[in-house]
Homo-oligomer: A and B are copies of this chain.
């Protein structure tokens, strides 16, 4: 049996490190670079699986921490995994819950064995080990699992960051051993996560250490917990030269359109971020001419599409005036239409970037996009 993930590098832009590739996964192919909508609790908020097809989502995220607490692994197993539970037949990537047990829960206690934490839902006590994080993701049945990592808090001293990163490496080795022992390598891929905070030597050490462990893919973590845009890009630049060109690279929790393009330029293939969906539910919408907020009074009688350059069902069906009315009237449909548009925008951006890379004009595409986007 072949491994669960097969990555083909199709093209590298002649003027930068931007890459176009294809991931073959148990539930289908993913063309990179790709933006992956976040479906934390087994649903991309407000959207059906049919909507996800409409916005051309190729792969979505699930979250081991959230799904472990609700509906729980027992129900997921009884359902036959998350794909069947939510009726989504394309690839799913799951975060291990590392970030959530540190950011969402009270009284968490970290030891080399794992993390003890309290549920943000009912305060119940739980203990996650690297092995348990893999077990949960096996119950979920995601195409790509993530190693359990400690998301180093920001800012961190060099000493704290080094200690945290080395524990993440120990955990990565344990995750890999457990994944192999459970004979899941043909059904689910596993990514290592580069940590090391804002320190060049640590980011390099982390990348090299994980590559020595030999994963099907590598993520760059800890870049969306408070770092500046410059520090995020720095982390990418420090890590990517040490990652193998024949494996996919995933920048976790990024990001706004400009960050996405900056990271693609530096050789990143995969992205996720709650910002497009969270912003949508706050009225903040992407357009080819920059972000707008639909709450603004000037949209009340603006009978043009949200983004005339966009071909999503919202832009081709409704006006800004109607979206403005839905928002003011407190209608749930506002959240749904806003979400659909913002995700369509982000997925399309990654698809357009891919086309530009294949045509060897990524930098030109990026410049033209940002010029119009920042008007």
**CB within 8 Å of B: which residues of A?**
41-43, 45-50, 70-71, 74-75, 78-79, 85-87, 300-301, 303, 313, 317-319, 321-322, 324-326, 328-329, 331-333, 335-337
The answer to whether B332 touches A46, judged by C-beta atoms less than 8 angstroms apart, is yes
Q: How far is the CB of A119 from chain B (nearest CB, A)?
A: 13
Docked CA distance A318–B313 (Å): 23
The answer to whether B45 touches A87, judged by C-beta atoms less than 8 angstroms apart, is no
Give the secondary structure class of A's interface.
helix
Counting every copy of the chain, the complex holds 2
The answer to whether A48 touches B87, judged by C-beta atoms less than 8 angstroms apart, is no
Q: How far is the CB of A61 from chain B (nearest CB, A)?
A: 15
- A331 touches which one: B45, B78, B301, B303 (CB < 8 A)? B45
Which B-chain residue is minimally distant from A49 (CB atoms)?
B317
Docked CA distance A165–B249 (Å): 73
Docked CA distance A48–B48 (Å): 12
Contacts of A324 in B (CB 8 A): 71
Docked CA distance A75–B324 (Å): 11
Contacts of A329 in B (CB 8 A): 41-43, 70
Contacts of A74 in B (CB 8 A): 301
Which B-chain residue is minimally distant from A331 (CB atoms)?
B43
The answer to whether B71 touches A325, judged by C-beta atoms less than 8 angstroms apart, is yes
Q: How far is the CB of A298 from chain B (nearest CB, A)?
A: 13
